[in-house]
Structure 1
Amino acid sequence: MSTNIASKVVVITGASSGLGEATARHLGAAGASLVLAARRGDRLATLAAEIRAKGGKVEVVVADVSRRADVEALVQKAVASFGRIDVMINNAGLMAIAPMSEAKVEEWERMIDINIKGVLYGIAAALPVFQKQGTGHFINIASVAGVKVFSPGGTVYSGTKFAVRAISEGLRHETGGAIRTTVISPGAVDSELKLGSSHAQSAKVVGEFYQQAIPADSVARAIAYAIEQPADVDINEIVLRPTVQEF
């Protein structure tokens, strides 16, 4: 067990499935105190019960990251429960793949609300806590699609993930020294993310692409690696994908 993880309070959004759920299990097993957020309270309750049964410390908050008040309440709950926050993992995301010619504007707006504004709300809520403490760690989940545009159909999704990487780099410049910033950019990893496309042909392509997916625990281990480093080491970006993935 790493004492660098065991001593930390970690907040995770999008924790009811996929990367967030796997990360909660992994960090909980390593001794972290967890505050888990998602829209599906029943899933959160089941996960929390599993972690507590193994001796873990966990609180849950039903929250939609596209609502600023929800994210502020999440951070307040973490501080009230554990007295501090050491790591804020902005994980919640939506991938709705479709050609731009389909003009799925509502889906574009939803991706912007979750993938960009949700991250910004997490930063806005946790940053004052980190500054008051004099320490903290943001971990923002981007994507390989934020390194190279996923095409066809992924233009807007890629745009949101490029934004996450840009925001994270700017945050690092502005707050570096005591506050660490890490971007995790996964490729095809098994999660519900692949189910977000309403355009039938694009959904088919995404389903085929994700046949090469690696387990969500792969990302959990990368997150743990970033967290467990000594305070003077800031892992700024990790890109990981299946060995067989070309994109």
Structure 2
Amino acid sequence: MPKLDGKVAVITGASSGIGEATAEALAAEGASVVVAARREDRLADLSNRIEEGGGRVLAASCDVTDEGQAHGLIRKAEEEFGRVDILVNNAGVMLLSSVGKGLSDEWRRMFDVNVLGLLYTTDAAIETMKRQGGGHLVNISSVAGRKVTRDSSGVYAGSKFAVGAISEGLRQELLQDNIRVTIVEPGAVATELADHITDEDARESLGGLLNLEILQAEDIANAIVYAVTQPERVSVNEILIRPTQQPV
């Protein structure tokens, strides 16, 4: 029997990269999945693949920086499938730059998506999970949330350090409610994140990492599947996963 048979998972940022791979991996383990993002055409393609594989899926257009939409996403999931067992807070942006270049719009965007978006969806999901007697929150951070380097951008790292602090706070707040919390911190992964960097110096600084054999989105999805399929007595709190050749 699939390990997640009867479970319901909500995945934000599911239109590409880690979110897309995670949705497919959780569906393959038997979970009904709610895939959320702003790009509806991408969600439609993903939904078709999951359904063709025999999975159950609901596509939901959602901008997690809008608190009403974030809460509405959780309501849609519960209305469609009756519960929410797993929330994967994957939506995020990586607009690397150094301070002093006047890119304050990008700073706000990172904190809006990476921190507030995560909080909005989590806030709504907690109520549902408490009512049903448990659940699992999976927050996607970054190796930059553990170690700041010149290449990682202090502002981006700051948003991911915040994810780490919030995740640990949630773990302690929710353990009596049988709600587990896992933070996943990937190193360099082949996703679209780097394509959105506007600071040319920051883009060039990534060149060395991208020349390595970096992780694939499926590698992170597999780590998430591992965390959410453990027995209820087991709480995998943190997974740091780097390419074998990534030095920091």
Per the normalisation by structure 2, the TM-score is: 0.96
Q: Deviations over 1:93-135 (max 9, x none)?
A: 0001111121210000000000000110111110100111110
Instruction: Give secondary structure in 1 for the equivalent of 2:83.
Output: coil
The CA deviation at 1:25 is 1.1
In the alignment, which residue of structure 1 is the partner of 2:12?
A: 13
Does the 8 Å CA contact 2:62/2:70 hold for their aligned counterparts?
yes
Does the 8 Å CA contact 2:33/2:57 hold for their aligned counterparts?
yes
Give 1:126's aligned amino acid. A
In the alignment, which residue of structure 2 is the partner of 1:225?
A: 226
Give 1:223's aligned amino acid. I
In the alignment, which residue of structure 2 is the partner of 1:184?
A: 184
Gaps of 5+ in 2: none
Does the 8 Å CA contact 1:2/1:228 hold for their aligned counterparts?
no
C-alpha change, 1:69 and 1:155, in structure 2 (3 Å) is: same
Does the 8 Å CA contact 1:116/1:160 hold for their aligned counterparts?
yes
In the alignment, which residue of structure 2 is the partner of 1:53?
A: 52
Instruction: Give secondary structure in 2 for the equivalent of 1:161.
Output: helix
In the alignment, which residue of structure 1 is the partner of 2:202?
A: 202
Does the 8 Å CA contact 1:87/1:138 hold for their aligned counterparts?
yes
The CA deviation at 1:169 is 0.2
The CA deviation at 1:207 is 4.2
The CA deviation at 1:153 is 5.5
Instruction: Give secondary structure in 1 for the equivalent of 2:150.
Output: coil
Give 1:227's aligned amino acid. V
Report which stretch shifted further, 19-28 or 196-205.
Answer: 196-205
C-alpha change, 1:46 and 1:226, in structure 2 (3 Å) is: same
The CA deviation at 1:152 is 3.6
Give 2:197's aligned amino acid. S
The CA deviation at 1:210 is 2.4
1:148-159 to 2 correspondence within 5 Å?
Answer: 148-152=147-151, 154-159=153-158
Q: CA RMSD in A?
A: 1.1
Distance 1:167 1:153 in 2: 20
Distance 2:34 2:50 in 1: 12
In the alignment, which residue of structure 2 is the partner of 1:111?
A: 110
Per the normalisation by structure 1, the TM-score is: 0.97
Report which stretch shifted further, 141-150 or 197-206.
Answer: 197-206
Does the 8 Å CA contact 1:32/1:57 hold for their aligned counterparts?
yes
Distance 2:152 2:101 in 1: 9
Instruction: Give secondary structure in 2 for the equivalent of 1:71.
Output: helix
1:1-247 to 2 correspondence within 5 Å?
Answer: 2-3=2-3, 5-152=4-151, 154-177=153-176, 178-212=178-212, 213-247=214-248
Does the 8 Å CA contact 1:13/1:38 hold for their aligned counterparts?
yes
Distance 1:223 1:211 in 2: 26
User: Percent of counterpart pairs with the same letter?
Assistant: 46
The CA deviation at 1:29 is 1.4
Instruction: Give secondary structure in 2 for the equivalent of 1:195.
Output: helix
Does the 8 Å CA contact 1:194/1:210 hold for their aligned counterparts?
no
Q: Runs ≥4 in structure 1, deviation > 4 angstroms?
A: none
Report which stretch shifted further, 135-144 or 205-214.
Answer: 205-214
Report which stretch shifted further, 144-153 or 215-224.
Answer: 144-153
Does the 8 Å CA contact 2:89/2:139 hold for their aligned counterparts?
yes
Distance 2:107 2:175 in 1: 32
Does the 8 Å CA contact 1:16/1:38 hold for their aligned counterparts?
yes
